[in-house]
Chain A
Amino acid sequence: MQGIAVPISVVPGNSPIHRINPIPKMVWVLGILVISFITRNPVILGGVFLLGLLFVTIAQIWPSYLRVVMVLFPISLTLILLQSIAPAFPQPWTPIVAVGPFTIWQEGIYSGLSLLLRIMCMTTFAMVMIMTSHPSDIFASMQKVGLPYTMNFILTMTLQLIPILQSEFNTVLKAQKSRGLKGTGFAAILPSMVPVFVGAIERVQQLSISLESRAFGSSGQKTSYRQVQFGFKDALVLAAGALFSGAMTYWLLVDKTLDWSRTLTFSPAFALILFFGAGIGFLLFIAFALRLVLTA
């Protein structure tokens, strides 16, 4: 099972991006989120994506970033498949080529490509933020700008619990095998869920009593041990993020010529290659994932 889990957490390092307060980074992520949602223009999205990759390079997180992309990208390929035959786009649609009972549409390709790019933009920036900020720092600074203390705690604990439950699950699987429990794949996994689940509940019950003994849930002023600095540099990054996304948003909303959905045309050959490429890529991924699950 461990093979499938993608560790999305901080990648220790000391790059310029690591040294920035999480809040400005979150502003960037939010800004990119807005931009990705208001435009479908593949060139603009592509440009933003490239900017994201530049940040990945500066942060020196390529290996961890690629591990995430390797899971995400094949899943996103389904978007191209589905969109090209059933575009989420107002009619009328322009046909390009027929594949068996399906028609690949001009608008479908456009919408599939832009959706894919949107996802890549958002995840790239989100990954840069997550992989360069210690989770405790993220939560502590979110608390500073209004996240309730309890929410902060729940987030922290969930992050801790995931790997624990994962290893618990592995132990249970082995323990049950040693009682002669047969079967592979789902049949073997199902009975292991119960003990892991019960164990998690017992853990949380005990933890809540332990926490209460440490005044968790008390009313009144709380303090934070994690001190996150917010300096001039951080303010600058924040301002740049706000300015960049603000200006981009304005431009994208005002300039109607950026909507290329009806002007950009794709050749039948391009459409077919894209369609089948996405299909094969997706199938390869499923086969690979299944093999991992079944041999666990």
Chain B
Amino acid sequence: MSAKPIVQVENVTHVYSRGNVTALDDVSVTINRGEIVGLIGQNGSGKTTLVKHLNSLLKPTKGRVLIDGEDTEKQSVQAMSAKVGYVYQNPNHQLFARTVQDELEFGPRNLKVDEAEIEARREEAIEFFGLEEMRDLHPYRIGFPLRKLVGMASIFTMRPDIFILDEPTTGQDNITTQRVYKLIHRLRENGHTVICVAHDMILLAEVVDRLLVMRDAHLIADDTPRKVFAMREVMESTHLAPPQITQLSLNLKKGKVVLSVDEMLKELKS
């Protein structure tokens, strides 16, 4: 993995004019190409505000944001969509085509990808997300959990360098959650950069390389999940509990942090 920065957030402050809320206070962070990053923190801590700066939906009040070396200041949201794919938490906000299939084709066609490639990407997405049976249905005719997968698939076919997933597993059952794991692994293999805003600690423990923790508009921790889960003050002050298996290892093995059941299994055998 080349350590080339793809996201550079430099001393960014964001103040919402409505209510004069400072949602980001002098935040700096650099993310390298190919990194899988988790972003956690209570509601209202500034996570969404931060990621909206990456695709130019919001512009910094102070400081600057560089994506692949380019300042987002002059970029439109539409132009950024080729580089940064943002999967909204609520798929209803994002879907607008007549059928699932059209939905998947919209992004790449908009980016002037050639038709043969569009078709290939569409078929791959349908297969990968298991959407075969509903390809001709209106996105609003299918249940909410699957609709969420359609939302992800519609960004997947655009092949952006950076994927932003906003709470991809919230309110989902285990099967859909597994599909999200698979997606993130796939994105990792293909060298994409992923930023995953989530509360789902089991997901984060198993798939991310790096955890950013936000509290009251500040970035208060930035390290591997293993290290972050061991930071007592950080975890407690944000009311975030590491996965049960991690809590078990912290308990049994005096401060040893384990991230998955299988890892714990190995740990207990030795």
Q: A residues bordering B, Cβ < 8 Å?
A: 168, 171-172, 174-182, 191-192, 194-195, 198-199, 202
Residues of A close to B154: CB separation below 8 A: 179
The reply to whether B94 and A182 contact each other, CB–CB distance below 8 Å, is: no
Tell me how far the C-beta of A181 lies from the nearest C-beta in chain B, rounded to whole angstroms. 7
Given known A174-B57, A174-B77, contact A179–B140 (CB-CB < 8 A)? no
The reply to whether B96 and A181 contact each other, CB–CB distance below 8 Å, is: yes
10 A-B pairs closest in CB distance: A180-B81, A191-B96, A175-B93, A180-B110, A177-B77, A175-B94, A178-B86, A195-B92, A198-B140, A172-B93
Q: B residues bordering A, Cβ < 8 Å?
A: 55, 57, 77-78, 80-82, 84, 86, 88, 92-96, 106-107, 110-111, 140, 154-155, 158
| Nearest-neighbor residue (CB-CB) of A182 within chain B | B78
Interface centre among A168, A191, A194, A202 (most CB of B within 10 A): A194
Listed by A's residue number, 16 A-B pairs whose Cβ atoms lie within 8 Å are: A168-B93, A172-B94, A174-B57, A174-B77, A176-B96, A177-B57, A178-B77, A178-B81, A178-B84, A178-B88, A179-B94, A179-B154, A179-B155, A194-B96, A195-B95, A198-B140
Given known A174-B57, A198-B140, contact A179–B93 (CB-CB < 8 A)? no
| Nearest-neighbor residue (CB-CB) of B79 within chain A | A180
| Nearest-neighbor residue (CB-CB) of B164 within chain A | A178
Partner of B57, one of A178, A181, A202: A178
Residues of B close to A171: CB separation below 8 A: 93
Given known A177-B78, A178-B57, A178-B81, contact A198–B92 (CB-CB < 8 A)? yes
The reply to whether B78 and A181 contact each other, CB–CB distance below 8 Å, is: yes
A195 to B92, CA, bound (A): 6
The reply to whether A195 and B78 contact each other, CB–CB distance below 8 Å, is: no
The reply to whether A195 and B96 contact each other, CB–CB distance below 8 Å, is: yes
Interface centre among B86, B96, B110, B111 (most CB of A within 10 A): B96
Residues of B close to A194: CB separation below 8 A: 96, 140
A180 to B55, CA, bound (A): 11
Tell me how far the C-beta of A188 lies from the nearest C-beta in chain B, rounded to whole angstroms. 10
Tell me how far the C-beta of B264 lies from the nearest C-beta in chain A, rounded to whole angstroms. 39
Residues of A close to B82: CB separation below 8 A: 180
The reply to whether A180 and B92 contact each other, CB–CB distance below 8 Å, is: no
Residues of A close to B107: CB separation below 8 A: 179-180
Residues of A close to B81: CB separation below 8 A: 177-180
Interface centre among B81, B88, B93, B154 (most CB of A within 10 A): B93
A174 to B93, CA, bound (A): 9
Tell me how far the C-beta of B16 lies from the nearest C-beta in chain A, rounded to whole angstroms. 13
Tell me how far the C-beta of A163 lies from the nearest C-beta in chain B, rounded to whole angstroms. 13
A172 to B95, CA, bound (A): 9
A182 to B107, CA, bound (A): 11
A198 to B82, CA, bound (A): 28
The reply to whether B92 and A179 contact each other, CB–CB distance below 8 Å, is: no
Residues of B close to A181: CB separation below 8 A: 78, 96, 106, 110
| Nearest-neighbor residue (CB-CB) of B98 within chain A | A194
Partner of B111, one of A174, A180, A198: A180
Tell me how far the C-beta of A172 lies from the nearest C-beta in chain B, rounded to whole angstroms. 5
Residues of A close to B92: CB separation below 8 A: 172, 195, 198-199, 202
| Nearest-neighbor residue (CB-CB) of B155 within chain A | A179
| Nearest-neighbor residue (CB-CB) of B86 within chain A | A178
